[in-house]
Amino acid sequence: MNITEQKILITGGAGFIGSHIVDELIKRKNELIVLDNLSSSNIKNIENHLSKDNFRFVKGDVRDVDLLNSLLKDVDIVFHYAANPDVRLSVERPEIDFEINVKGTFNVLEAMRLNDVKNMVFASSGGTLYGEADVIPTPESYPPRPISVYGASKAACEAYISAYCGFYGLNAISLRYANIIGPRSNHGVIYDFFMKLKRNPQELEILGDGKQKKSYLYISDCVKASILAVERHQKGFDVFNIGSDDWITVNEIARIIIERLGLKNVKIKYTGGDRGWPGDVPLMLLDISRIKALGWKPEIPIREGIALYVDWLKKEYGYDL
Ligand SMILES: NC(=O)c1ccc[n+]([C@@H]2O[C@H](COP(=O)([O-])OP(=O)(O)OC[C@H]3O[C@@H](n4cnc5c(N)ncnc54)[C@H](O)[C@@H]3O)[C@@H](O)[C@H]2O)c1
């Protein structure tokens, strides 16, 4: 896909990953429209672009079919990043992932079909889509066996996107992300631990037994890998795992954060069990050989990425001992 001097719509473009993708795409003289309802993000993430001629922000929802139809006129590529990103929220309210992720993606696909938009980039999720895989690191060829409704929603989205490629001649690439971390992220284990320790530096509650082991990728590496995979994509439907070669336990993440905040004698309390919440996948490491074969590799090791992100959280939200 050519991603220079194109007209691109980015759903969820005010969010964590989406806004970093925006920062990259705007450098390439693209005309960008960001569609975001700001339900889990802040306009601050894209405010430096708001006055630019080639940038337009539309506060709106992917559930609004008429809005999508009106925005997709003459668009070349859709980057579809809008979703309920919180796996845990769907435990109590499973319909959210269906309405926003599955139906929202269907709405985007239909608006693309009706407006003859041929190219799509989709933000999928490696860990939750594969579920409790018995092959680790897990390659793209592993069958989707999600154990959370969030994972199921991403698998359903991919199935619809694949069908639109086969049926209506769409070209699409699905990027199956590991846990992505870094500035502007406001969810996930590192954010949660930081906020808990900010409230009470003496104690940290860890969900599960802390032995869950997963892979994390720093946002700058994520953006580089995503852009490379998109640029190399030619025709039809393809999927890429985007993650790192390394993984880390929740206990070690806690140790790094406690140390980075200069805390001592923090009492750790575990909620128990082998996972943080129903649907949590305790072990996740993606096989990233396909994306590496394109010439990419992670530049920021996990532990350094966590430290950088914690430093940003301290600056952003304030932290006094
Ligand atoms: N962060 C990760 O580790 C990770 C991992 C795998 C996949 N993903 C996927 O990447 C994408 C971006 O995630 P993120 O971590 O940047 O989260 P995020 O919450 O920062 O970004 C999601 C964006 O979508 C917007 N949004 C939500 N519902 C919407 C709706 N109905 N209409 C319009 N906009 C809506 C939110 O306001 C937000 O700006 C999501 O699709 C997520 O599922 C993220």
Query: pLDDT, tens digit, for every residue of 278-299?
Result: 899 999 999 999 999 999 999 9
Residues 199 and 135 both lie in one domain: no
Residues 269 and 141 both lie in one domain: no
Residues 20 and 167 both lie in one domain: yes
Q: Which of 227, 242, 257 is the last residue of a domain?
A: 242
Ligand 1 centroid vs 249 CA: distance in angstroms? Answer: 24
Ligand 1 closest atom vs CA 19: 16
Residues 76 and 223 both lie in one domain: yes
Residue 260: give the domain boundaries: 182-214+246-280+300-317
- Residue pair 115/72 in contact by the 8 Å Cβ criterion: yes
Which protein residue has the closest C-alpha to ligand 1 atom 6? 125
Ramachandran sector of residue 77 (left: φ over 0; alpha: ψ -120 to 50; beta: rest): beta
Query: pLDDT, tens digit, for every residue of 114-146?
Result: 999 999 999 999 999 999 999 999 999 999 999
Say if 286 falls within a structural domain.
no
Residues 139 and 207 both lie in one domain: no
Ligand 1 centroid vs 210 CA: distance in angstroms? Answer: 26
Ligand 1 pocket at CB < 6 A: 11-12, 14-18, 36-41, 61-63, 81-85, 100, 104, 123, 125, 177, 179-180
Say if 285 falls within a structural domain.
no
Say if 293 falls within a structural domain.
no
Residues 202 and 146 both lie in one domain: no
Which of 251, 292, 250 lies closest to 137 in space, CA to CA? 292
Ligand 1 closest atom vs CA 14: 39
Say if 139 falls within a structural domain.
yes
Pairing state of beta strands 213-214 and 248-249?
A: antiparallel
pLDDT of residue 321: 61
| Alpha helix segments (H runs only) across 131-218 | 149-168, 189-199
Say if 78 falls within a structural domain.
yes
Which protein residue has the closest C-alpha to ligand 1 atom 32? 61
pLDDT of residue 90: 82
Say if 24 falls within a structural domain.
yes
Ligand 1 closest atom vs CA 179: 3
Residues 196 and 270 both lie in one domain: yes
Task: Quote the number of domains for the chain.
Answer: 2
State how far the Cα of 142 lies from the Cα of 145, in Å rounded to an integer: 9
Q: Which residues are catalytic?
A: 150
Give me the CATH number covering residue 66.
Answer: 3.40.50.720
Ligand 1 closest atom vs CA 100: 31
State how far the Cα of 120 lies from the Cα of 201, in Å rounded to an integer: 44
Say if 295 falls within a structural domain.
no
Residues 264 and 232 both lie in one domain: no
Ligand 1 centroid vs 262 CA: distance in angstroms? Answer: 31
Residues 251 and 236 both lie in one domain: no
Burial class (CB in 10 A: 0-12, 13-18, 19+), 214: buried
Give me the residues of the chain with pLDDT under 70, please. 321
Give me the CATH number covering residue 187.
Answer: 3.90.25.10
CB hemisphere CA count around 70 (13 angstroms)? 8
Residues 199 and 73 both lie in one domain: no
Residues 93 and 164 both lie in one domain: yes
Say if 291 falls within a structural domain.
no
Residues 31 and 169 both lie in one domain: yes
Ligand 1 centroid vs 208 CA: distance in angstroms? Answer: 25
